[in-house]
Amino acid sequence: MKRRDLLGMMLASGLAYPMRQAMAQEQATLRQAAEAKGLLYGCAVDSRKIARDRPFADLVAREAGILVHEGEMKRHEIEPRADVYNFEPANRIMRFAETNHQLVRGHTLVWFNVQPQWLEQALETPDMTARTELLTGYINKVVGYYKGRIHSWDVVNEAVEPADWRWDRMRSSSIWYKAFGEDYISMAFHAAKEADPKPILFLNDYGIESDVRWNETRRSAVLKLLDRLKAKNVPVEGFGIQGHLKPYKDKFGEETFARFLHDLEGYGLKLMITELDIADSGGPADDPAQRDQFVASVAKSFLDVALASPSMLGVLTWGITDRYSWLSSADNYKWPDGQLVRGLPFDSDLKPKPMFDAMMAAFKNAPAR
Ligand code: GLA
């Protein structure tokens, strides 16, 4: 029997944990399995957790080939007050990555959420030059500061929002949209390209993976936005699929997702899964083993489709262990009884879970590039 078949059987049968663990140890790391196919695997991290939790830091050093800052590269950390820049928290991750020979994604330059408080009011200035500077000046400064050290930038995060009820489904409630209309996107991409021509420039979004109506609306909004950006020669080079899945609520469908990836490939874009985690909320509360099997099976079908795309560069999970996952405190995902959400490849004891096996199997199954 082929190893892959054996692993599939183990995933399906929920084979005893010690045996899975033995198998996991015998296998390579996620980083090695991905790199063997010319792909990347990595995760989001926070420097404070790296500093205070040595076993966690060791896990990140061993498993990840690329890192992304969970929050420390966001504007409220980097420019907490107007014109007062603080790169130190972000630099801690840069140093960790350099020590461990890991690439880094830059996340994120322009987002409607988690902004420093002063920014919203500042953007209300009638002086268009000053207003533009608040967008492009920041990008110049940050992208310039990290010149040559970033694999890819999420230049704009979460640009579409059908719930804002515009005909084109753009997120019109965003401070950026209010200040510039949709032009903020092209202004941001051009500024990033000018500051450092090398990193791959990404648009990043969520709610586009599953086989449900609200995701279909978002997918079509993204594709129409890309039509407009490409028509204007905006240097969008990549599209990031966040991959925050909640399969007990929103069914994942391979064909729908494959079709969307195919549509994205048509724009000549590089693709990445940028924030994968799989919420187990909605599953049987008293049966974590059963939930783990379900999460693993969704991870496998999701990644089999994703990694089959010739444009796919790799996968990042949003965190790596259930010990530290935003899902366990997020209103939509957390368990009412306080148990942790089990949405990541390693459990809260840093032991590999069925999701880890599924990811290894998906990397091994992926065509080489
Ligand atoms: C979004 C953002 C990330 C992170 C996650 C989870 O998807 O892009 O930066 O905040 O939510 O919290």
Query: Atom 3 in ligand 1: which residue has the minimum CA distance?
Result: 70
Ligand 1 pocket, residue 242 CB under 6 Å: yes
Dist. CA 10 → ligand 1 center (Å): 32
Ligand 1 pocket, residue 280 CB under 6 Å: no
* Mean pLDDT, rounded, for 354-359: 98
Kindly report which listed range (17-31, 140-154, 251-265) carries the lowest average pLDDT score: 17-31
Dist. CA 205 → ligand 1 center (Å): 10
Angle at 276 between CA 65 and CA 333, to 5 degrees: 140
- Residue carrying structure tokens 């020590």: 99
User: Which atom belonging to ligand 1 lies closest to the Cα atom of 157?
Assistant: 8
pLDDT of residue 129: 98
**Strand residues in the chain grouped as ranges (E):** 40-45, 66-69, 103-111, 152-157, 200-205, 238-241, 244-245, 270-278, 312-317
pLDDT of residue 7: 47
Distances (CA, A) of 276 to 21, 154, 242, 319: 22, 15, 6, 9
Ligand 1 pocket, residue 250 CB under 6 Å: no
User: Which atom belonging to ligand 1 lies closest to the Cα atom of 70?
Assistant: 9
* Mean pLDDT, rounded, for 104-130: 97
Ligand 1 pocket, residue 154 CB under 6 Å: no
Bridge partner residues of 205 (DSSP): 241
> Candidates 67, 208, 275: which one to mutate for ligand 1, based on the most atoms within 8 Å of Cβ?
275
> Residues 6 or more apart from 332 whose CB is under 8 A from it?
246, 279, 281
Dist. CA 14 → ligand 1 center (Å): 31
Indicate the pLDDT class of residue 317, thresholds 50, 70 and 90: very high
Indicate the pLDDT class of residue 6, thresholds 50, 70 and 90: very low
Answer whether residue 360 shows pLDDT above 50. Answer: yes
* Residues with catalytic roles: 275
Answer whether residue 15 shows pLDDT above 80. Answer: no
Q: What global pTM score does this model have?
A: 0.93
DSSP-derived 3-state class of residue 180: helix
> Candidates 239, 242, 277, 318: which one to mutate for ligand 1, based on the most atoms within 8 Å of Cβ?
318
Answer whether residue 247 shows pLDDT above 60. Answer: yes
Tell me the per-residue pLDDT of 183-227, one tens digit each, with 9 for 90 and over.
999 999 999 999 999 999 999 999 999 999 999 999 999 999 999
Task: Give the mean pLDDT of the chain.
Answer: 94
- Hey, what domains does the chain have and what are their CATH numbers? 36-365 (3.20.20.80)
CA distance 44 to 15: 29
Answer whether residue 5 shows pLDDT above 60. Answer: no
pLDDT of residue 357: 98
Nearest CA-CA partner of 20 in 365, 356, 359: 356
User: Which atom belonging to ligand 1 lies closest to the Cα atom of 275?
Assistant: 7
Ligand 1 pocket, residue 275 CB under 6 Å: yes
Answer whether residue 12 shows pLDDT above 80. Answer: no
Dist. CA 74 → ligand 1 center (Å): 10
pLDDT of residue 19: 53
Answer whether residue 160 shows pLDDT above 80. Answer: yes
User: Which atom belonging to ligand 1 lies closest to the Cα atom of 206?
Assistant: 7
DSSP secondary structure letters along 246-300: -TTTS---HHHHHHHHHHHHTTT-EEEEEEEEE--TTS-TT-HHHHHHHHHHHHH
Tell me the per-residue pLDDT of 66-89, one tens digit each, with 9 for 90 and over.
999 999 999 999 999 999 999 999
User: Which atom belonging to ligand 1 lies closest to the Cα atom of 244?
Assistant: 7
CA distance 361 to 30: 10
Ligand 1 pocket, residue 157 CB under 6 Å: yes
Tell me the per-residue pLDDT of 262-290, one tens digit each, with 9 for 90 and over.
999 999 999 999 999 999 999 999 999 99
- Structure tokens that stand for 5 in this block: 């078949």
Query: Atom 12 in ligand 1: which residue has the minimum CA distance?
Result: 326
